Structure 1
Amino acid sequence: MKTQQPNCKKFLFVSRWGETLDVINTIKQEGHDVKMFIEDKASKEIGYGFVSKVTQWEKHIDWADIIVFDYTGYGKIASELRAAGKLVIGGTEYTDNLELDRNFGQAELQKHKIKVIPSKEFTSFGDAIKYIETYPNTYVVKPCGETQELKQLLFVGSDDEGLDAIRVLKAYEKSWGNDFGNFQLQRKVKGVEVSIAAFFNGNEFIYPINITFEHKKLFPKELGVSTGEMGTSMFWTKDSPIFEATLLKFQNTLAKHNFIGHIDINCIVNGHGIYPLEFTSRFGYPQIHIQRAGINEPMGEFFLKLAQKKQFKINVKKGFQVGAFIVVPPFPYEDKKTFNLFSKDAVVVFKKNGKEGVHPMHLKKVNDEWLITGNTGIAVLVTGIGNTMKDAQKMMYNRISNVIINNGYYRTDIGDRWTEDSDKLWSWGLL
């Protein structure tokens, strides 16, 4: 039910893929005036029926009280708009480069006196194969630039000699040729993978910070291809040794560049130290939606305070939040024929009334029905909260059992790693 607020503001969301629909819809329901633009052609239908859509966002700059850019690549225009006096949440050219140029990101970590895992960038598959043959080890193959959006191309090796990485590089050479672009070989380090995330108000980090554990593989027990994300567990904390050793060291630099938004650094940690892997200098998906489940204040007000450079503490729930995607074919691949055959316009059905904790992703609304659109097959994100990880999981899976999506699939173990991961983190003094 939309309740008009006396302090109603005009929000313009500039979205790359339509991933922020749930947040936009929430801000609309809080009583604000909202318009949404989606850049990606195949994703244009996302949000129809939920929120007001525009085809040229630039025409609405003067209309907007606040502009939100939800992806990297908009840093230059976001900075120009801020300089012109607009309230803007979004990156800068500097923070775009942290994420999009892996070499730059690694160099900046070193510049800020943060230990990094050895890595080397290549433009030729042959050179990379020779390198592995010369320096046999376990390697991770990481695409750079635009190709890194195709998460299934990220390969994490397990062979001590790097033979599996060589096989993958040969396969990429056959299928991609010269279109693959630059890529990195990074030594694989064993440990717990954890992300440290925080909101930044242009001057400093806003507390509490967010500790996130991502589940990237398609199947339970970390089997199958990398998908970018199948689900995440998280909690909020006022301090963290991992945050102090990584993101906090960037506070002055981010302030110098007038960054306003969300930034995340993904790390592998073990008994020997903390090793940052990469930056995400924008909202994370599904991270922002699971964070929303743990934030007690209205999202519109929260975004406004952030854009206005206010100093405040985020009012968050204690305990844990978890979220799992329900996806449909051809996810995690792009295959228009399969999508059209199995998934396009499929209805999201609720057994019982109540959509609490079910966040629309690549959907449109027709006659009050939620229909799947876009082209990648991410239908909904379902969240749960609780004082313990088990409580949060139970709530989430109960909510999932209320959702029927034809051909839908999801992971049944989101949050299960917490027991083992937390034991390790405690023993290393990192929690």
Structure 2
Amino acid sequence: MNIAVIGGGGREHALVRKFAESEKVDRIFAIPGNAGMSDVAEVIHGVSEKDFEAIAGVCLENEVEWVVVGPEAPLTEGIVDYLEDEHGIKVFGPRKKEAQMESSKAFTKELMEKYDIPTAKFAKFNDYDEAYKYIEEQGAPIVLKKDGLAAGKGVVVATDMDEALAGLDELTAGGTDDAQIVIEEYLEGEEFSLMVLVNGEYTHSFEMIAQDHKRAFDGDTGPNTGGMGAYAPVSHIGESHRTEAIEKIIKPVARGMVEEGLDYFGILYLGAMVTADGVKVIEFNARFGDPEAQILLSMMDDDFADVIEKVHRKEPFELSFKPGCMVGVMLASTGYPKAYEKEKYVEFESVRDNCYISGLGQDMDGRFVTSGGRVLLVTGHGESVDQAVKSVYENVAQVKYEDGDLFFRKDIAHRAL
């Protein structure tokens, strides 16, 4: 079969590499792809992930059997509806209505409230003054989220009142009333990421969880980012917590979506926290986490093209994963997640097989230059988490760039050590 992967980041790099291992897959088209995918896919640089008509043209011309959508933006804008309804192309990913599980935090919180899914208590606001008053009443710590897509950065975890009120200003751009804000109680505990394959009420939760590191700097400090590193498995969070998440969150949410007339098909990402009161939902995403996808797909032994078809047919199966542990460290442009410079040279040929490109392009001479905030995920594998951490930072040390151009966290997987 021929497969098209939509997107151009590290998550999509992991997907095309995974499909390249499949005996079922003949050709892989990466639209628009990135500079690191050409060894495993046919990269269609000239087509934007938002140009649905051009994407359909590539798929029809090349007899693509499955389209797999990586990022959240085209899902939210209805790429699945367009490809399926207008052209009859099969897509692995939720339609626009179902993608509200990520695109509208208010929608998702209300769904959880209705179906008694354990999550932080919340309130939503369109009015700046009302939100300000609520924060003053609740006090800190408190969590503020902008309703809608924000690439992992539209969240402020405020530890004191000054941070909370500054966060409100930031998320409402100084008080505009067209930006709905969701304000949540602060949950304490250990976070984990669970990827779930969903087809209506049918669900298959990954047998392995991962842990992401959202904050920009060591010690879980600094602003929220799209993810500065991840690792799996998470041995200090027991199987009982994964099972609890499936029984108390995943299955009820799938049933609730069906009750609400939703027909979800694709990956549902659960960001969960183990609290003193049990496992609770932090967030849902309508696609693979990034960088968790890079780690989990690298660890997965199964043919992912085969997995998608089994989910499509609602067949039972088990996923198997390689032994040991894998850790990924994100190299990011200095200044990220706020303003940063681009066009900085990066050289990583000696560890290329251990890297996933997130934000790199190439200059006229073929040299890699930065093009985004998160630049390169470097991975390392070991029999234990200690060995994997040692391996990944040895690999990071082989990436060459000018001092001050990039930064990375030096404590990825610290909670497991």
Q: Same fold (TM over 0.5)?
A: yes
SS in 1 for 2:208: strand
CA contact (8 A) 1:232 1:322 kept: yes
Classify 1:308/1:231 alpha carbon distance in 2 versus 1 (closer, same or farther; 3 Å).
same
- Distance in 2 of aligned mates of 1:222 and 1:130: 28
Greater shift, 205-214 or 389-398, is seen at: 205-214
- Distance in 2 of aligned mates of 1:217 and 1:281: 21
- Distance in 2 of aligned mates of 1:116 and 1:316: 29
- Distance in 1 of aligned mates of 2:352 and 2:6: 26
Q: How far does residue 258 in structure 1 lie from its aligned partner after superposition? A: 4.3
- Distance in 2 of aligned mates of 1:417 and 1:302: 31
* Corresponding residue of 2:368: 371
SS in 1 for 2:134: helix
CA contact (8 A) 1:198 1:210 kept: no
* Corresponding residue of 1:24: 16
SS in 2 for 1:411: coil
Classify 1:298/1:371 alpha carbon distance in 2 versus 1 (closer, same or farther; 3 Å).
farther
SS in 1 for 2:98: helix
Identity, % of aligned positions: 20
* Corresponding residue of 2:5: 13
What is the letter of the counterpart of residue 363 of structure 1? L
- Alpha-carbon deviations, 1:122-154, whole Å to 9, x = none? 1232221112223434311111114x3361x42
* Corresponding residue of 1:382: 378
- Alpha-carbon deviations, 1:256-309, whole Å to 9, x = none? 744332111112222222221210121111111111221123444444554565
SS in 1 for 2:297: helix
* Corresponding residue of 1:328: 333
Counterparts of 1:79-228 in structure 2, within 5 Å, are 79=81, 81-82=83-84, 86-146=89-149, 148-149=150-151, 151=153, 153-159=154-160, 162-170=161-169, 176-178=174-176, 181-200=179-198, 204-206=202-204, 208-228=206-226
The count of corresponding residues between Structure 1 and Structure 2 is: 392
Match of 1:359 among 347, 356, 360: 356
* Corresponding residue of 2:289: 284
- Alpha-carbon deviations, 1:170-194, whole Å to 9, x = none? 4656x54428711111111222222
SS in 2 for 1:292: helix
CA contact (8 A) 1:90 1:282 kept: yes
What is the letter of the counterpart of residue 347 of structure 1? V
Match of 2:323 among 308, 318, 321: 318
- Distance in 2 of aligned mates of 1:14 and 1:381: 19
* Corresponding residue of 1:70: 70
- Alpha-carbon deviations, 1:147-172, whole Å to 9, x = none? x3361x4211223xx34312432465
Q: How far does residue 250 in structure 1 lie from its aligned partner after superposition? A: 2.9
What are the ranges of 5 or more consecutive residues in structure 1 without an aligned counterpart? Answer: 1-8, 39-43, 420-431
SS in 2 for 1:339: coil
Classify 1:302/1:348 alpha carbon distance in 2 versus 1 (closer, same or farther; 3 Å).
farther
Classify 1:309/1:10 alpha carbon distance in 2 versus 1 (closer, same or farther; 3 Å).
farther
Match of 1:245 among 234, 245, 248: 248
CA contact (8 A) 1:49 1:366 kept: no
Classify 1:329/1:36 alpha carbon distance in 2 versus 1 (closer, same or farther; 3 Å).
same
What are the ranges of 5 or more consecutive residues in structure 2 without an aligned counterpart? Answer: 48-53
Classify 1:181/1:140 alpha carbon distance in 2 versus 1 (closer, same or farther; 3 Å).
same
Classify 1:254/1:185 alpha carbon distance in 2 versus 1 (closer, same or farther; 3 Å).
closer
- Alpha-carbon deviations, 1:4-62, whole Å to 9, x = none? xxxxx211222276751342255347663122224xxxxx8656855320522121232
Classify 1:171/1:65 alpha carbon distance in 2 versus 1 (closer, same or farther; 3 Å).
closer
SS in 1 for 2:119: coil
Structure-2-length-normalised TM-score: 0.82
SS in 2 for 1:93: coil
Classify 1:391/1:95 alpha carbon distance in 2 versus 1 (closer, same or farther; 3 Å).
farther
Classify 1:177/1:272 alpha carbon distance in 2 versus 1 (closer, same or farther; 3 Å).
closer
- Distance in 2 of aligned mates of 1:48 and 1:418: 32
- Alpha-carbon deviations, 1:227-273, whole Å to 9, x = none? 12101122286962223221132344567744332111112222222
What is the letter of the counterpart of residue 355 of structure 1? R
Structure-1-length-normalised TM-score: 0.79
Q: How far does residue 80 in structure 1 lie from its aligned partner after superposition? A: 6.0
What is the letter of the counterpart of residue 145 of structure 2? K
Classify 1:384/1:106 alpha carbon distance in 2 versus 1 (closer, same or farther; 3 Å).
same
What is the letter of the counterpart of residue 212 of structure 1? A
